[in-house]
Amino acid sequence: DGGITQSPKYLFRKEGQNVTLSCEQNLNHDAMYWYRQDPGQGLRLIYYSQIVNDFQKGDIAEGYSVSREKKESFPLTVTSAQKNPTAFYLCASSIGGELWSNQPQHFGDGTRLSIL
């Protein structure tokens, strides 16, 4: 049963700590994305990756970092430089490939990050 798995569902971070959110997909998708959702706002793109070992900044990349060493995995690190990290984080994937456009993105169930 293919899908996107985000873990953990809830995560707590102390001030000044880095924390890494996991995202794994078994859909054989080339493209993966990280979004952030805040109350009353739409999803905002943090980073995206079209292919392994390549990724680009989205609209709100400051204070975040990613890696894409494997096709299935796209972890997001929320660094201490992110001043307002409390949010709901969503990972998504799409088929990708050369015609990487007009493709629905499929989402995981999200990770809610809170600052202690």
**Are 52 and 76 within 8 A, CB to CB?**
no
> Looking at 102, 113, 114, 115, which residue binds other proteins (CB under 8 A)?
102
Tell the smallest beta-carbon distance from residue 44 to other proteins (Å): 8
31 binds other proteins (CB under 8 A): yes
Q: How far apart are CA 88 and CA 68, in angstroms?
A: 21
Q: How far apart are CA 79 and CA 17, in angstroms?
A: 7
Name the segment binding other proteins (CB under 8 A); options: 12-20, 66-74, 78-86, 107-115.
107-115
Residue 28's contacts (CB-CB under 8 Å, 6 or more residues apart) are 2, 71
**Are 49 and 32 within 8 A, CB to CB?**
yes
Q: In terms of Cα–Cα distance, which of 54, 57, 73 is closest to 6?
A: 73
25 binds other proteins (CB under 8 A): no
Site for other proteins in 46-75 (CB under 8 A): 48, 50, 58
41 binds other proteins (CB under 8 A): yes
Residues at the contact surface with other proteins, assessed by CB under 8 A: 4, 6, 9, 31, 35, 40-45, 48, 50, 58, 90, 92, 94, 96, 100-110
